[in-house]
Amino acid sequence: MSHNTFGHLFRVTTWGESHGPSLGCVVDGCPPGIRLTLSEIQSWMDKRKPGQSRFVTQRREDDVVKILSGVMLDEDGETMITTGTPISMLIENTDQRSKDYGDIARRYRPGHADFTYDLKYGIRDYRGGGRSSARETAARVAAGAVARKVLPDLVVRAALVQIGKHKINRANWDWDQVNENPFFAPDPQIVPVWEDYLDTIRKSGSSIGAVIEVVAENVPAGLGAPVYGKLDQDIASLLMSINAVKGVEIGEGFASAELSGEENADEMRMGNDGVPLFLSNHAGGILGGISTGQPIVARFAIKPTSSILTERQSIDADGNNVEVRTKGRHDPCVGIRAVPIGEAMVACAIVDHYLRDRGQTGRLR
């Protein structure tokens, strides 16, 4: 496909299928002299890995990251220092049950990439969706973990804000709650609601969509470009590249269609410290494609997984009408595990623009 690389100066190439021996990525363009540890990277991987609650796939993967190149060990024997060369990271697939997929080997799951993949390539690794599997996103989280080290002050956090029709109450937003529940919910009051709701979904072998919100703080002002290579464009592109994503918003997003110029204008005043202050953030931290220095706010919508137990009408590779139901082990709400992935994508986009901007304007250190 020759399109498994993203980024311009901070470039990430991912590879691997869900049922191959391993998957991974090559992070090319990471500046030299950055100190990182495997445990730091692993901590991000653990947020994404499956099997952590009854609300996600029961596939068990440790998602242990190995770094194969691009670093040297420091005297302490634990800290690694980047050398400026490509950082190759590998994650082994340990829990593959191909048999689970046997009966859908030639049947197309409605709403799944099966059909289009076969159509385009004429061959398909049907096991777990092959390259289309969410397993690929493990490599993105590893790349995002490296990106975070390039801008140590950068804070990129995400939370689940909607499952089905059940939305959080923004008045209750508390970042400290996000890692205290199996949904990355920032609103503790929604947790029992989602628990009951997802138990029903799960037991019926169904699935449901979700919305994730990503917030990036301490983003240097001035990152991006006015026309193409806009920071919001690249964030939208990377979020849309995550499996099952069908929509992306920045700031007010679709709500801005209903706003007047007066309502949408983020007014400004000089702060006492001589730093410009914005009195609101409808723009989501990006104006004309360039970061304002305010928090960057992005949201993305995830469709329900197409792998469900209920029978659905479809066809097979031989052109016969068939009924399809997917046994296997699946996520009733794939949106949950998309939370750390969204963080990783936004972190990578910001760091890539940071390096570009430093190159073109010599403005940053």
| Numbered residues of the known binding site for NADP(+) | 48, 54
Using DSSP's 3-state secondary structure scheme, residue 132 falls into: helix
Stretch near a copy of itself under the rule CB under 8 A, chosen from 45-53, 85-93, 96-104, 180-188: 85-93
Q: How far is the CB of 16 from a copy of itself (least distance, A)?
A: 4
**If binding means CB under 8 A, how many residues of this protein chain bind a copy of itself?**
158
**How many other CB atoms sit within 10 Å of the CB of residue 364?**
14
Rg (CA), the chain: 21
Task: Considering the complex, state which of residue 101 and residue 117 has its C-beta at the smaller distance from a copy of itself.
Answer: 117
- Please enumerate in sequence order all residues whose Cβ is within 8 A of that of 171, keeping only pairs 6 or more positions apart, or say none: none
Q: How far is the CB of 131 from a copy of itself (least distance, A)?
A: 4
Please report whether residue 177 would count as binding a copy of itself according to CB under 8 A: no
By CB under 8 A, name the one of 162, 185, 213, 337 that touches a copy of itself. Answer: 162
Stretch near a copy of itself under the rule CB under 8 A, chosen from 8-16, 141-149, 186-194, 336-344: 8-16
Please report whether residue 363 would count as binding a copy of itself according to CB under 8 A: yes
Task: Considering the complex, state which of residue 64 and residue 221 has its C-beta at the smaller distance from a copy of itself.
Answer: 221
Q: Give exposure, 154-184, as e/b (b: 16+ Cβ within 10 Å).
A: bbbbbbbbbbeeeebeeeebeeebbeebbbb
The answer to whether 355 touches 29, Cβ cutoff 8 Å, is yes
Please report whether residue 154 would count as binding a copy of itself according to CB under 8 A: no
Task: Considering the complex, state which of residue 122 and residue 176 has its C-beta at the smaller distance from a copy of itself.
Answer: 122
Cα–Cα distance for residue pair 233/248, rounded to 1 Å: 10
The answer to whether 4 touches 15, Cβ cutoff 8 Å, is yes
Give the DSSP per-residue string, 65-102: EEE-SSEEE-TTSS-EEE-SS-EEEEEE-----GGGGG
Stretch near a copy of itself under the rule CB under 8 A, chosen from 39-47, 98-106, 180-188, 276-284: 276-284
**DSSP bridge partners of 6:** 12
Please report whether residue 106 would count as binding a copy of itself according to CB under 8 A: no
Q: Which of residues 43-82 bind a copy of itself (CB under 8 A)?
A: 68-70, 72, 81-82
Q: Which of residues 206-265 bind a copy of itself (CB under 8 A)?
A: 206-211, 221-230, 232-234, 236-237, 240-241, 243, 246-265
Least Cα distance to 146 among 218, 71, 227 occurs for 71
Stretch near a copy of itself under the rule CB under 8 A, chosen from 21-29, 43-51, 98-106, 182-190: 21-29
Chain centre to alpha carbon of residue 155? 15
Cα–Cα distance for residue pair 111/307, rounded to 1 Å: 9
Task: Considering the complex, state which of residue 70 and residue 144 has its C-beta at the smaller distance from a copy of itself.
Answer: 70
Please report whether residue 272 would count as binding a copy of itself according to CB under 8 A: no
Please report whether residue 279 would count as binding a copy of itself according to CB under 8 A: yes
Please report whether residue 350 would count as binding a copy of itself according to CB under 8 A: no
Please report whether residue 295 would count as binding a copy of itself according to CB under 8 A: no
By CB under 8 A, name the one of 119, 174, 175, 199 that touches a copy of itself. Answer: 119
- Taking phi over 0 as left and psi of -120 to 50 as alpha, with beta for the rest, 179 belongs to alpha
Q: How far is the CB of 286 from a copy of itself (least distance, A)?
A: 8
Please report whether residue 32 would count as binding a copy of itself according to CB under 8 A: yes
Please report whether residue 362 would count as binding a copy of itself according to CB under 8 A: yes
Strands 22-28 and 80-82: unpaired
Cα–Cα distance for residue pair 245/131, rounded to 1 Å: 16
